[in-house]
Amino acid sequence: MDEQGNLTVDDYVPGWAERIAEAQTQTHVEIDGKLYPRRRYGSDHPDSVALQPRCGDCGVELGQLRVPTCCVERCPRCDGQAITCRCPEARLVVSQ
């Protein structure tokens, strides 16, 4: 928590801020030999009226790339839930 008593990302899991920072470098995923850009929080659920300043699952801010284990991340290939969809395994690609 910060001085005002607000939740910060480190209240999710110790060291989580580093996971979020790492996720921002993982801009693409490779699925079945094709490269897909990852979705950013906010742009992947544009019809949602309940967007919070931070993702309730992984804690990223609007416009940031989600932490790859986030349960509301959408698969860029099939638009399904990324962690449960039937696509071949996605390989994270770090942009240089």
Per-position x/- string for 50-89, each x denoting binding to Zn ion as judged by CB under 5 A, each - no binding: -----x-xx-------x---x----x-xx-x----x-x--
Q: How far apart are CA 65 and CA 81, in angstroms?
A: 15
Find out whether 19 and 92 touch, Cβ atoms under 8 Å: no
Least distance from C-beta 70 to Zn ion, angstroms? 3
Per-position x/- string for 7-46, each x denoting binding to Zn ion as judged by CB under 5 A, each - no binding: ----------------------------------------
Q: Which residues bind Zn ion (CB under 5 A)?
A: 55, 57-58, 66, 70, 75, 77-78, 80, 85, 87
